[in-house]
Structure 1
Amino acid sequence: MGPVRGSRRRKRADKSAAAAAGVQGSGDWWVDFSARIAGHLSIPEEPINFESIFKVSRKTFDYICSLVRDELMAKVSHLAFSDGKILSVEDQVAVALRRLNSGESLLNIGVSFGINHSTVSQVTWRFVEAMEERGIQHLKWPNCHEIEISKYKFHTLWGLPNCCGAIDTTHIMMCLPSVDTSSKVWIDHERKHSMILQAIIDPDMRFRDIVTGWPGSMNEPPVLCSSGFFKMCEKGTRLNGEQVKLGNGVEVREYIIGDSGFPLLPWLITPYQGKDLSNAEIEFNKIHFAARGVAQRALARLKDTWRIIQGEMWRPDKHRLPRIILVCCLLHNIVIDIENEVRDEMPLLQEHDTSYKQQFCDTTDNEGIILRDKLAEYLSG
């Protein structure tokens, strides 16, 4: 039997109505799901906006569903709403994204979506496992073409030649019970329980390399030295691209930039320290600080969007938390990759570790000193 005459016109009309209601591009799933949510909201008359709930566009949401669909469907699932309806892939992704971006308790998410809090927990972890398997390609060191784009942007925006990225660390708060004998190792220098996230970020605020899982009691140098990135740089298998010629025949190698908590290395350039700085050194620090801001904003954006890692995690599983952090970084990158834009509405000085004081590292390498001086002379000229 062929299609009923006029059905296409009705479908177009339905899409127009959905767009007018603020859910442009939505399909039957969203219409049904939004109606289901409305029945559990405290103010059901308030219009439900897709992006306000999931912190991603519908286009990105559909892409995430396509990534994890096979993994989620491969596992037999009897997870259901309170009315007995089995959760679809889209339902599971919606629940998991809401759990990750709101930071609300399992109970609150369950009440909002009309499911049991244990179901929220199961769905979220199934999603995390699927994202680890299917989404990891969105967090990788840039290829030759991509690294050239990054270097071009660092040079164009801030004047830094041959710069490949900015490195920074942030603390993921934890709330551990005092009876936990291992909890002392997680106490950082601000007397809080935390886990470290170290990230290298490109000029578009993508995470290009991350290290997490280490206790907050560790400072930046040992976390850096434990990373595969550090070992590759020391062996000469990373940041080993062509040198760039500056004026007077001076050449500079590839490098990244970081704050004063990191050691000054041949491939990691930190700002000048001390009070009696020359004009060239002061100018270099200003430019270095401005360029380094892209890493601060990326980490602030990560915590602001995926709030499960913004506040204190109550009795977190120390083995699962690094995997949750990884997936939040993957989602951060996917938003940039799919929507083809940088959501950078935050002010330049937005902080991601507001209560933490700047740490200082005195370790310097002579080659790093020489490179920094070359850059300072070039920028002052």
Structure 2
Amino acid sequence: MGPIRGNKKKRKIELKIDNENVLASGSSEEGSIDWWDEFSKRIAGSVSPSKGLDQFESVFKVSRKTFNYICSLISEPMMAKTTNFVFLNGKSMSLNDQVALALRRLSSGDSLIGVANFFGTNHSTVSQVTWRFVETLEERGLHHLQWPSTEHEMTQIKSKFENIRGLPNCCGAIDTTHIMMLLSTSERTIDVWLDRKDNHSMILQGSTFFDLAEKGERLQGKKLKLSEGTEVQEYIVGDSGFPLLPWLITPYQGRDLPETKSEFNKRHFATRLVAQRALARLKDVWRMIQGVMWRPDKHRLPRVILACCILHNIVIDMEDDVLDELTFTHQHDLGYRPEVCETADKNASISRDKLSLYLSGRLPA
């Protein structure tokens, strides 16, 4: 997980959309409110609005504004392909229909058959439309997953993290979560999909970020002076399952810690909760990756997960109020306890001690 999303004002300008003319191509029917009026009649009684949300938001987990933005983002490549998807009554699916179907599949966690029945189509169409949507979103939406590009953005992020419990020069928090799978008998022999508890799962984590940080392509901004002759570089925080590295600060291990180290751990825990809550919210909103997937296509699964991450950041970047109305569990990996990694870089250990002393007011001036 990266830093707290920042610079909303700038992004809001970039993402501004004319909702009345949202589609660059397609019929006027697709871009009008009439689409939802017609669609809502077909699903009447199928969905009861959640507390604080209207029926549209309850069905798709996004506002109309965000829905329209997603349609505009992917309209050209999505509609350029020749496959003509239809409902059971023979009517062709518009762009709005296809986006709605894919969002429902990803956000509800319902089976292919369940989504097919909801929309009045067959499960094969649900699968194909969702995959086309995933491919197109990956092509057009990756800019919603990016590390802050300016010093100003990073300064804002550091300020937000420091305001949590005082950790200075902290740029983010990291955590992992398991995407559970139920495989067929023949597939269960594939050890690559077994986690440490012998469950079949795929672990979601920003792995490319690790490589970039190790190469010095991340977290190489300004060092912060803590006292005369003492600096701390940019870093992120993670739990004890991660190695202690100069750019990745983990908590102290063991019991009966000195007061300075115990206090540091409390501050560290409160700060890394950002990552835990972000993953919990991601899986609560995009429920396709929340439960146990029945025989997923293991080659496509990473890209489905990526699409859910892109969609989640789109909702955040659009400052969508729907997120404020949803109820979240704050738990994303039930049944798993973090492992303890014994790997510790010597320089990182020194930096952590300096941070601990600084936060306790005991670092010499």
Cα contact 1:171–1:196 (8 A) shared by 2 = yes
Cα contact 2:48–2:55 (8 A) shared by 1 = no
- Tell me, what secondary structure is at the counterpart of 1:99? helix
Question: Structure 1 runs of 4+ off > 6 angstroms?
Answer: 344-349
Shift of 1:346: 8.6
Residue-by-residue CA offset, 1:92-123 (whole Å, 9 max, x unaligned): 00000000011111111111111111111111
Shift of 1:36: 1.9
1:175 aligns with 2:182: yes
- Tell me, what secondary structure is at the counterpart of 1:262? coil
Alignment-derived partner of residue 89 in structure 1:
95
Shift of 1:345: 7.3
1:312 aligns with 2:292: yes
Instruction: Decide which of 176, 197, 203 is 1:196's aligned counterpart.
Output: 203
Alignment-derived partner of residue 11 in structure 2:
none
1:375 aligns with 2:351: no
Q: In 1, Cα distance between the equivalents of 2:108 and 2:275? A: 23
TM-score, length-scaled by structure 1? 0.81
1:115 aligns with 2:115: no
Q: Which runs of 5+ in 2 are unaligned?
A: 1-30
Provide the aligned C-alpha RMSD in A: 2.3
Distance 1:30 1:342, change over 3 A: closer
Distance 1:131 1:229, change over 3 A: same
Distance 1:82 1:339, change over 3 A: same
Cα contact 1:107–1:117 (8 A) shared by 2 = yes
Counterparts in 2 of 1:151-170, with a 5 A limit?
A: 151-170=158-177
1:296 aligns with 2:276: yes
- Tell me, what secondary structure is at the counterpart of 1:38? coil
Alignment-derived partner of residue 5 in structure 1:
none
Cα contact 1:37–1:114 (8 A) shared by 2 = no
Q: In 2, Cα distance between the equivalents of 1:38 and 1:240? A: 54
Cα contact 2:62–2:322 (8 A) shared by 1 = no
1:262 aligns with 2:238: no
Instruction: Decide which of 366, 373, 377 is 2:346's aligned counterpart.
Output: 366
Cα contact 1:176–1:183 (8 A) shared by 2 = no
Q: Which runs of 5+ in 1 are unaligned?
A: 1-24, 199-209, 211-226
Alignment-derived partner of residue 108 in structure 2:
102
Shift of 1:248: 4.2
Distance 1:181 1:55, change over 3 A: closer
Distance 1:343 1:380, change over 3 A: farther
Shift of 1:276: 3.0
Q: In 2, Cα distance between the equivalents of 1:233 and 1:366? A: 17
Higher RCO (CA 8 Å, separation ≥ 6 residues) = 2
Distance 1:345 1:72, change over 3 A: closer
1:350 aligns with 2:330: yes
- Tell me, what secondary structure is at the counterpart of 2:338? coil
Task: Report the residue type matching 2:170 in the other structure.
Answer: C
1:286 aligns with 2:292: no
Cα contact 2:141–2:310 (8 A) shared by 1 = yes
Shift of 1:33: 1.1
Cα contact 2:284–2:328 (8 A) shared by 1 = no
Deviating more after overlay: 228-237 vs 52-61: 228-237
- Tell me, what secondary structure is at the counterpart of 2:343? coil
Q: In 2, Cα distance between the equivalents of 1:133 and 1:280? A: 48
- Tell me, what secondary structure is at the counterpart of 1:171? strand
Cα contact 2:162–2:168 (8 A) shared by 1 = yes
Cα contact 1:336–1:342 (8 A) shared by 2 = no
Q: In 2, Cα distance between the equivalents of 1:134 and 1:163? A: 30
Shift of 1:178: 2.0
1:148 aligns with 2:167: no
Alignment-derived partner of residue 127 in structure 1:
133
Counterparts in 2 of 1:44-63, with a 5 A limit?
A: 49-63=55-69
Cα contact 2:75–2:95 (8 A) shared by 1 = yes
Cα contact 1:293–1:348 (8 A) shared by 2 = no
Task: Report the residue type matching 1:260 in the other structure.
Answer: S
Shift of 1:185: 2.7
1:325 aligns with 2:305: yes
